[in-house]
């Protein structure tokens, strides 16, 4: 996720104070409402792709994106050498890191390297099957302790890769030296996960999560369900398999880890009129993308899914998975993935603006280290919604750390505006 670089280049600007355009982030009530953008988007309910077309498009994404896997077709064995190459990416340990404000020693870093347990990887790795039992963290190294590039930082954990929802199917590939972490492959990321956050199962039971025939999609910012005495959280776009339907109720089997570490699902009931869920994927329309993005408006910026929230690329990922499109997790990989690509490098500001004006609402825009979701134009000014870390104003860095609506005049650390720093616009179809 190139965290150290991102910390140096997050951006954002001033506030919108009236009906006339004011550069930067806006707090104007109309512009910070999904309803405004939906009402001003006549084609917003047009279906972009059918479910069959989306399934075919997801195959193109998996082909174009090495991190995205079709989990139901994941091989039963993989090469041990290729797994070693993935696990032995210790680049994060080459920099100075801080734990509880104190610089970590080389001995501590060597302990982390040892915990990856490389010597135990066989020539051919047999895949085991598991599912997550709560919203949990996927880590760069087998530890839950946060490491930071700056002694005073508490927001950008250098080892945090992403967060996974309950019921995510995992291919378990390896285990740490102390046995407390497993190296796993999820639908679009691999990394280390705590043994207590997953439950092992056989492939037949696992397939109910990897390829459910009936399922709900979370369409609110989150959904909380009580399982085995614990409240578990699902975020926007999370998929919940449905066992059967009884009258006005969906019957689900929520994943729970038994005392032996095996899957011991519990039966739960969700009413059909629960506004936080939708049976099957939402239709792929611009309005559904906009509504999904605004579920997080004002939420804290959550690096790698921390703080029960989103960062810039997971906001895009969550919004698009709610309509059935499975994107890569990170912004640079989303930018290179399948879809209609508009290259903006080398274009003038006017030419960039012209391209953006031609895009449908919900299209992501990418720059180095950041991405935003295009909402539309107001008073001939393009607006976007995005999870934003910080901005630069008069050469000074100002913290934002939330999901905002803004125009593209925001400045980066270089002093260049977002508009002039954009590299790519995408339409996923």
Cα(104)–Cα(83) distance, integer angstroms: 27
Q: Which of 239, 263, 248 is nearest to 186 (CA)?
A: 239
161-170, 288-297, 394-403: least confident range: 394-403
270, 371: one domain = no
Residue 299, CA distances (Å) to 37, 95, 133, 293, 296 in order? 19, 30, 24, 11, 5
Instruction: Look up residue 336 and give its DSSP letter.
Output: H
233, 361: one domain = no
User: Domain with 329 in it: what CATH number?
Assistant: 3.90.1720.10
Using the predicted structure, report yes or no on whether residue 20 has a pLDDT greater than 50.
no
32, 86: one domain = no
In which band, very low, low, confident or very high, does the pLDDT at 14 lie, cut at 50, 70 and 90? Answer: very low
Using the predicted structure, report yes or no on whether residue 15 has a pLDDT greater than 60.
no
| pLDDT number for residue 391 | 79
Residue 132, CA distances (Å) to 9, 192, 201, 326 in order? 33, 12, 11, 18
Cα(337)–Cα(125) distance, integer angstroms: 28
CA 108 to chain centre: 30
Using the predicted structure, report yes or no on whether residue 31 has a pLDDT greater than 70.
yes
Scored b (16 or more CB within 10 A) or e, 302-320 reads: bbbbbeebbbbbbbbbbbb
119, 220: one domain = yes
332, 418: one domain = yes
209, 330: one domain = no
Does the global pTM surpass 0.75? yes
Of 230, 260, 279, at which residue does a domain stop?
279
136, 247: one domain = yes
| pLDDT number for residue 396 | 87
181 φ, ψ (degrees, to nearest 5): -135, 150
28, 75: one domain = no
Model confidence pLDDT, tens digit, residues 295-338: 999 999 999 999 999 999 999 999 999 999 999 999 999 999 99
Residue 218, CA distances (Å) to 23, 221, 238, 284, 324 in order? 34, 8, 5, 15, 12
Of 264, 279, 294, at which residue does a domain stop?
279
Using the predicted structure, report yes or no on whether residue 39 has a pLDDT greater than 90.
yes
Angle at 297 between CA 238 and CA 370, to 5 degrees: 80
118, 38: one domain = no
Residue 374, CA distances (Å) to 160, 290, 321 in order? 27, 9, 17
In which band, very low, low, confident or very high, does the pLDDT at 3 lie, cut at 50, 70 and 90? Answer: low
Q: What average pLDDT is seen over the chain? A: 94
251, 366: one domain = no
The total number of structural domains that make up the chain: 2
Residue 232, beta-bridge partner list? 225
Cα(331)–Cα(341) distance, integer angstroms: 14
Using the predicted structure, report yes or no on whether residue 4 has a pLDDT greater than 70.
no
Q: List Cβ neighbours of 404 (8 Å cut-off, separation of 6 or more).
A: 12, 25, 297, 385, 386, 388
346, 246: one domain = no
Of 236, 252, 279, at which residue does a domain stop?
279
Average pLDDT over every residue of 375-400:
91
Instruction: Look up residue 304 and give its DSSP letter.
Output: G
382, 328: one domain = yes
Residue ranges making up the domain that contains 83 = 53-279
| pLDDT number for residue 138 | 98
């Amino acid at each position: 996720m190139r965290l150290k670089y991102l910390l140096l280049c997050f951006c954002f600007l001033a506030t919108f104070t009236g009906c006339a355009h004011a550069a930067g982030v806006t707090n104007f009530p109309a512009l910070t409402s999904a309803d405004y953008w939906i009402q001003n988007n006549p084609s917003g309910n047009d279906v972009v792709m059918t479910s069959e077309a989306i399934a075919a498009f997801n195959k193109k994404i998996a082909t174009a994106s090495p991190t995205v896997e079709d989990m139901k077709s994941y091989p039963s064995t993989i090469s041990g050498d290729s797994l070693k190459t993935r696990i032995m990416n210790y680049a994060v340990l080459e920099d100075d890191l801080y734990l509880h404000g104190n610089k970590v020693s080389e001995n501590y870093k060597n302990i982390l390297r040892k915990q990856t347990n490389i010597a135990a990887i066989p020539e051919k790795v047999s895949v085991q099957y598991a599912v997550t039992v709560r919203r949990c963290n996927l880590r760069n190294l087998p530890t839950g302790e946060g490491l930071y590039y700056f002694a005073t930082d508490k927001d950008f954990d250098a080892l945090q890769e992403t967060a996974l929802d309950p019921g995510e199917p995992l291919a378990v590939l390896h285990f740490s030296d102390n046995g407390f972490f497993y190296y796993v492959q999820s639908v679009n990321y691999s990394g280390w996960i705590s043994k207590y956050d997953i439950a092992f199962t056989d492939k037949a039971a696992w397939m109910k999560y990897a390829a459910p025939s009936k399922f709900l999609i979370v369409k609110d910012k989150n959904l909380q369900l009580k399982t085995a005495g614990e409240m578990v959280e699902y975020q926007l776009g999370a998929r919940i398999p449905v066992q059967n339907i009884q009258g006005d109720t969906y019957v689900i089997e929520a994943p729970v880890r038994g005392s032996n570490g095996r899957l011991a699902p519990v039966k739960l009931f969700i009413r059909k009129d629960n506004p936080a869920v939708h049976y099957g994927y939402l239709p792929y329309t611009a309005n559904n993308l906009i509504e999904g993005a605004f579920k997080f408006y004002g939420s804290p910026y959550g690096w790698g899914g921390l703080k029960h929230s989103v960062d810039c690329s997971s906001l895009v990922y969550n919004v698009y998975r709610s309509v059935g499109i499975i994107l890569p997790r990170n912004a640079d990989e989303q930018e290179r993935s399948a879809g209609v690509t508009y290259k903006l490098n080398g274009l003038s500001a006017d030419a960039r603006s012209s391209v953006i004006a031609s895009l449908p609402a919900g299209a992501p825009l990418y720059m180095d280290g950041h991405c935003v979701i295009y909402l539309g134009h107001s008073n001939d000014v393009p607006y976007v919604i995005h999870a934003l870390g910080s901005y630069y104003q008069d050469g000074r860095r100002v913290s934002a750390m939330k999901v905002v609506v803004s125009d593209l005049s925001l400045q980066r650390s270089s002093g260049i505006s977002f508009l002039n720093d954009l590299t790519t616009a995408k339409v996923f179809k």
